Every structure is written in structure tokens, then in C-alpha cells.
Structure 1
Amino acid sequence: MSIEVGSKYQGKVTGITNFGAFVELPGGATGLVHISEVADSYVKEINEFLSVGDEVTVKVMNVEKDGKIGLSIRKAKDQPKSPPSDRRPPRKSPKSKQRDQRPISFEDKMNRFLKDSEERLSSLKRNTESKRGGRNSKRG
């Protein structure tokens, strides 16, 4: 029996490590379910989700040239599609509100850039002069 990428199989957990679980597939082949592919939530301890001898449904993610088989339990589950009305529309940043009002001329953009850069440069100078003993620092 050949293992095909994208196929789902019923397998048995034969071993557990700190980085994943080995699952025996039909036909005797063994693949690895990486710890990140065990559940949809964060898995700190794999033994909380799986134990040796468990029957699991897995999806074949990849088959490497050297015969290693990458499996996923979380992608083998049929995910119900949530209707688009459940999702929030993306928030607009303050900059995007400005863009919606009117186009900004090159001169306006240049003036804003110069103002911002002068403010940043002056605060940078203020902070570095006080640390290294600039003009107005007190020496004891």
C-alpha cells in the first residue's frame, strides 16, 4: 500500500517522544506527528493528548525521499467553515483614515518627514548627551 500526500489514514500510536508521536499506518509504515501538529491549541506535554496504543486519524503532510513520513492529527480533523459574518472586519489604522480623506501632496509628505526626523534627532541627542557628559552635564 503506497502512502499518498493529502490522504487520511487510521493509525495506532506506537511511541511518544518530547517532539512528537510515532504512528503506525496501514501496511506497516510508520510516520511522525510533530508536537505542533497534535492539536489546534499549544501542546506543552504531548502525554496529555496522546498515549501509546491510541487509535488516531492522521493526514499525510509529506513523504521524504529517505522514507520519512510527516503526519498531522489536527489537519485530519474536518474543520467546519465559519461563516464570514462571524469575523470582524479589519480595523483601519489612523494613517489609513488620513488616506481615505484626501491624497497627500509630495510637499506635505516631505514636510511631515522633516518634522518627524527633526523630533527624533533632537530626542536622540538629548538622551545621548546626558549619558556621555555632553555640553550641559555636571562634572564632579
Structure 2
Amino acid sequence: MTAMEYKIGSIVEGKITGIQAYGAFVALDAHTQGLIHISECHHGFVSDIHRYLKTNQTVKVMIIDIDEYTGKISLSLRCIKEPHINLKGDHIRCEHKHYWTNYKVNDGFKPIEMRLNGWIDDAMHDIENELKKN
């Protein structure tokens, strides 16, 4: 498959070829590679990606974004793991950041401002849950 044949939302299998502090590179086939950003490897805060992923590990991941200009593929492990529960008590199968790119749209920081309070609430909820576990 080429990068153009992959589709957002597809679950694919790949092999981790390298790990950096910000994420893990995954070979999807002989010619296509994607990245699991550290925020997409596990629900909640991840201080060390090496706790979750190892080089040469085979993983099932969901394609969450394909940049239309560069062909870069963003992957997620947490989208196919157990559902996440937000502050409202809703089960969310995949709550990921979609890095949609279109150079013709000039919204600036408006989308961030609109979502900021929800992100803060979800983060506080995650922190409270982690404190309860410990």
C-alpha cells in the first residue's frame, strides 16, 4: 500500500522501527511509515514512552490523520484500546487531536480557544483518577 491508499480511521498493523521522546515511528509496509505521538500511545499522561512501546514490537494502530500535503501519517494506539470516560461520563472510543491541515483556512487560535475549557476539565479529571489509583 502507498500512503495514498491508507484511510483515516483504518486499523492497521505495523512494526516499531524507532522511538524518540516525542513518539514512535512505525513501518506500515516497506515504503510507508507513520508516527505514534506520545500523546496517542496511552490514555492520560505518559512520562516515558518506553514504558509502553519497544523497538521491533508489532502493534495494531488506528490512522488518525494523513497530511494531504506531506503524506505524513499520524497513528494512535489509544484509539483502539479501552474507551475513555470524559467528565460528562460519556464513553469515548477515540478522543484524539486531529491535525487537519488546509492552508486556505485562516482561523488562527479560535479552534483552540473554543476547546480549551473542555481540555482543562478532561485533564483535571484524568489527574484526579490517577491520584485515586495511587
* Range of TM-score over shorter length: 0.5 to 0.7
1:31 equivalent in alignment to 2:38: no
- Structure 1 residue 3, shift from structure 2 partner: 0.8
Kept after mapping to 1: 8 A contact 2:26/2:35? yes
Aligned partner of 2:75 in structure 1 is 71
Matched, 1:3 2:44: no
Structure 2 residue matching 1:31: 3-state secondary structure = strand
TM-score of the pair, normalised by structure 2: 0.56
Residue matched to 2:43:
40
Amino acid at match of 2:83: Q
Does the 8 A contact of 2:43 with 2:84 survive in 1? Answer: no
Q: CA 1:4 to 1:18, structure 2 compared with 1: closer, same or farther past 3 Å? A: same
The question of whether the paired residues in 2 share the 8 Å contact of 1:10 and 1:26 is answered with no
Q: What RMSD, in angstroms, separates the aligned Cα atoms of the two structures?
A: 2.0
Report the Cα offset of residue 14 of structure 1.
0.5
Is the 1:57–1:73 Cα contact (8 Å) retained in structure 2?
yes
Residue identity matched to 2:73 = I
Specify the structure having the higher radius of gyration (Cα): 1
What count of residue pairs does the alignment treat as equivalent? 83
Cα pair 2:16 2:58 within 8 Å, conserved: yes
Counterparts of 2:8 and 2:30 in 1: how far apart (Å)?
Answer: 15
TM-score w.r.t. structure 1 length? Answer: 0.54
Distance 1:16 1:78, change over 3 A: same
Q: Choose between structure 1 and 2: higher strand proportion.
A: 2
Hey, what's the Cα distance between the residues in 2 that align with 1:72 and 1:80? Answer: 14
Query: Does the Cα contact within 8 Å between 1:12 and 1:56 map onto a contact in 2?
Result: yes
CA contact (8 A) 2:23 2:49 kept: yes
Q: Which runs of 5+ in 2 are unaligned?
A: 90-134
**1:88-137 residue CA offsets vs partner (Å, 9 max, x unmatched):** xxxxxxxxxxxxxxxxxxxxxxxxxxxxxxxxxxxxxxxxxxxxxxxxxx
